[in-house]
Chains A and B, each alone.
Chain A
Amino acid sequence: MIGSKGSLNADHCEKEKVVFKKITLEKLGDLVSALKEKGPLYAPVRDGKAVNFQKITKTADVTLDFYNTVFSPKFVFFPQTEDLIRYTLQKEGAQAEPVPIAASPSVILGVRPCDAKSFEIMDRHFLGAGIIDPYWKNRRDNTVVIGYAFDPAAPPDPADFYNTVGIHAADTEGSDVFMVRKDGELLLKGITKKGESLLKGLAVLDAASAQDEAFFDETIRKDRGVKTRFTEITDTAIAAKLVGSFEKQEIWEEMTASCIGCGTCTFVCPTCYCFDINDETLFRKGARKRFWDACMFTDFTLEASGHNPRPRIFQRYRQKVCHKYSYHVTKYGCISCVGCGRCTRSCPVNIDIFSIVEKVANL
């Protein structure tokens, strides 16, 4: 299980201090405009069939009618590509300038509880591994996360399994502000100091009533009853199971036989953080770039000698599962998966990481 969860009772004790606001859905546009004034705002936008987080330019683009986005909002802190150094090649050597790490205060609106949790998991890697990643840290420090509870009345997507990793449909953990939908209204509650001060500074919001608070707490309670796919695992037990199953090649080959080896699952994943760094030059000008890489690619582990320690798909898939459910537990003390179901939903051949973990857990 991931971390510990604050109990509902603790929330009640601090009632006096709680910053609790509301706004009608018709005035969502006003809220979006007010948030946009504070800096870049990232929110869900419908584009064709899919809803994804985007940097908002037009207020009307924002939608809160979605189940979950195709891509995770991790790109706000960890963009798919970013320039680290920009340079111009000279006759001898190069003139190079590091790109300043400047993040303006920004807000992500409408983050589902599993995704909010993913930021904390990524923090352990980017901030807690002995080396602090300044790019991640800067954006994290400057961003307010507005979480958004799943609708307790709507059934969870069949691919979701966040219950398995100890997350519920309305966990406030990881969010600075938590948002619950009440008929035609949005209820917003400050969870952290950062979130509270954001709420206090938003004049468009109205004060919420005691009734609203009761509804908010009720929704959280009801959302505990939202049941996604579930299998009983504990982080240390599954970590050990995976290590134990590592050599069982046949099982892994069978479980991953349909994998085609694309990188979709890792790109949509909220907790995949592997990246590559490459110099890309054109007309003697260029940038040292960091960009997402995927352990599912053949050339991910390809060495300069030509040797590839993981030439086969089952090896790469096993690496992905072991990294998330075993190595991450050993190294950072938690499972690096939030059960959002994105990898399963986006997989071109419907491979399901939950089924694989379940199978290994029951070996």
Chain B
Amino acid sequence: MDFEPKILGIACNWCTYTGADLAGTTRLKYPQNVRTVRVMCSSRINPSFIIRAFQLGADGVLVGGCHPGDCHYGTGNLYARRKLAITKKILEFAGMDQKRFRVEWISASEGNKYAEIVEEFTRDLKALGPQNTFRIEKDSRERI
């Protein structure tokens, strides 16, 4: 069977989540690999969520927020951009392939962009194969 990557999607309530909804209601076809969690704002995302997702076996993490300047709360995503940029650097320096972590600005009207990005990300992750860097072995949690 082909490898189907598991992607954790974390989407802001106002833009990306609504955009994903739009992709659905306009019947766009895109891979089913994303499991989405809705948060009120991309700046609510704690980098530990992303680390934990990789530990629990996510092959990729996709964070979606409003376009900079369009944040529902004014500046949330401007803070988020810095936070997520540092998160990306941390993952990279720890030895995680940084292609597995993606941040995209997708507005409520960009259903097609959402579908395209999921399509593209899924394809990239398929090429990368399963993520085994941070993944915790299910049966052995002993100290190394």
Q: Which A residues form the contact surface with B (CB < 8 A)?
A: 80-81, 280, 282-283, 285, 287
A332–B139 CA distance with the chains assembled, in angstroms: 41
A280–B143 CA distance with the chains assembled, in angstroms: 13
A80–B139 CA distance with the chains assembled, in angstroms: 20
Q: Which residues of A contact B139 (CB under 8 A)?
A: 285
What are 10 of the A-B contact pairs (CB < 8 Å)? A80-B143, A81-B143, A280-B141, A282-B136, A282-B138, A282-B141, A283-B138, A285-B138, A285-B139, A287-B141
Tell me the nearest residue of chain B to A283, going by C-beta.
B138
A287–B142 CA distance with the chains assembled, in angstroms: 10
A75 to chain B, nearest CB (A): 11
A93–B141 CA distance with the chains assembled, in angstroms: 22
A334–B141 CA distance with the chains assembled, in angstroms: 38
B54 to chain A, nearest CB (A): 14
Residues 60-72 of chain B, each 1 if its beta carbon lies under 8 Å from chain A, else 0: 0000000000000
A287–B143 CA distance with the chains assembled, in angstroms: 13
Q: Which residues of B contact A280 (CB under 8 A)?
A: 141
Q: Which residues of B contact A80 (CB under 8 A)?
A: 143
| Most B Cβ at <10 Å: residue of A81, A282, A285, A287 | A282
A81–B141 CA distance with the chains assembled, in angstroms: 11
CB interface residues, B 107-142, toward A, < 8 Å: 136, 138-139, 141
Tell me the nearest residue of chain A to B57, going by C-beta.
A283
A280–B141 CA distance with the chains assembled, in angstroms: 10
Q: Which residues of B contact A81 (CB under 8 A)?
A: 143
A285–B143 CA distance with the chains assembled, in angstroms: 16
A283–B143 CA distance with the chains assembled, in angstroms: 18
Nearest 4 pairs of A and B residues by beta carbon: A283-B138, A81-B143, A282-B141, A282-B136
A159 to chain B, nearest CB (A): 28
Excluding A81-B143, A280-B141, A285-B139, 7 further A-B contacts by CB distance (< 8 Å) are A80-B143, A282-B136, A282-B138, A282-B141, A283-B138, A285-B138, A287-B141
Tell me the nearest residue of chain A to B143, going by C-beta.
A81
A100 to chain B, nearest CB (A): 16
Q: Which residues of A contact B136 (CB under 8 A)?
A: 282
A358–B138 CA distance with the chains assembled, in angstroms: 51
Q: Which residues of A contact B141 (CB under 8 A)?
A: 280, 282, 287
A279 to chain B, nearest CB (A): 12
A207–B115 CA distance with the chains assembled, in angstroms: 81
A57–B136 CA distance with the chains assembled, in angstroms: 25
Q: Which residues of B contact A283 (CB under 8 A)?
A: 138
A85 to chain B, nearest CB (A): 14
| Most A Cβ at <10 Å: residue of B136, B138, B139, B141 | B141
B95 to chain A, nearest CB (A): 20
Tell me the nearest residue of chain B to A291, going by C-beta.
B143
Q: Which residues of B contact A285 (CB under 8 A)?
A: 138-139
A285–B137 CA distance with the chains assembled, in angstroms: 11
Residues 82-125 of chain B, each 1 if its beta carbon lies under 8 Å from chain A, else 0: 00000000000000000000000000000000000000000000
Tell me the nearest residue of chain B to A284, going by C-beta.
B138
A81–B139 CA distance with the chains assembled, in angstroms: 17
A87–B23 CA distance with the chains assembled, in angstroms: 43
A135 to chain B, nearest CB (A): 16
A287–B141 CA distance with the chains assembled, in angstroms: 9
B38 to chain A, nearest CB (A): 24
